[in-house]
Amino acid sequence: MPYQAIRYEISEGMAVITLNRPEVMNALSSQMRAELLEALKRAAGEARVIVLTGAGRAFCSGQDLGDGAMAAGLDLERVLRDEYEPMLKAIYECPIPVIAAVNGAAAGAGANLALAADVVIAAQSAAFMQAFTRIGLMPDAGGTYWLPRQVGFARAMGLALFADKIGAEQAAQWGLIWEAVADVDFEHHWRARAAHLAKGPTAAYGAVKRALRDGYGNDLSQQLELEAQLQGGLGATRDFREGVMAFLEKRAPHFEGR
């Protein structure tokens, strides 16, 4: 489909999806959510890693309060269920790694869009804010799920209530994101990280995602059983055989992934 609110590029197994409404700091309109969902599904089928980033000076400023639907009286419950939930699940449940390359401000639903990714890499000048209470709302778009799991209950509550802005370095120190990178190195760095994953063992990455996430709801016996099942499947893959041979032959492995 022709995209208007995003850009989609794919090269060497890396799909880069760019939120492309810089004039409104990449605010999430209904059209952008639909295009992003379609692009995520497309990339899951033809890439080995997905990068989600923003055009201009912001990553995403959250819900577009000037969207036509908002002006007509936005049904927040319907929009969250019908538009946000499928988009967020497409990121969270994606069978390949998803990196959020946060190039600037990530606020409200835009912050939580980034947190849905497997790994968040941010420019040092980027900032994160749960801006919802500033307009009389509570965090949504998965914010009440991601925040306490990543920074703990006390910090999650403070971020949600006070709607304070925190910089990328502090976010990394708190464990909210993976790393903060100097602005001058940012794009080169995230591209190198994504290229590494694009050349890696895709099935193993998918198993890592499932095991770590299912671990929140499993007891030890259930998690050990899950590990055994997943590892058993990986042990039968060509990538495992290639990895062992490369180790024994003291060379870099060549993983096929799919």
pTM of the model: 0.94
In this structure, what token pair is assigned to residue 36?
Answer: 């992003």
List, by residue range, all CATH 3.90.226.10 domains of the chain: 6-198
pLDDT digits (tens, 9 = 90+) for 8-20: 999 999 999 999 9
- Please provide the average confidence, as pLDDT, over all residues in the chain: 95
What's the pLDDT tens digit per position in 162-199? 999 999 999 999 999 999 999 999 999 999 999 999 99
Q: What is the pLDDT of residues 111-124, one digit of tens each?
A: 999 999 999 999 99
Query: Taking 60 as the threshold, does the pLDDT of residue 69 lie above it?
Result: no
Long-range CB contact pairs, 144-152, < 8 A, 24+: 146/112, 146/115, 146/116, 147/115, 147/176, 149/216, 150/115, 150/174, 150/175, 150/176, 151/175, 151/176
β-pairing, 105-107 vs 58-60, is parallel
Delimiting residues of CATH 1.10.12.10 domain(s) in the chain? 202-248
Q: Is CATH 3.40.220.10 the right assignment for the domain spanning 6-198? A: no
Q: Identify the pLDDT of residue 163.
A: 97
Could you tell me the fold of the domain covering 202-248? Lyase 2-enoyl-coa Hydratase; Chain  A, domain 2 (1.10.12)
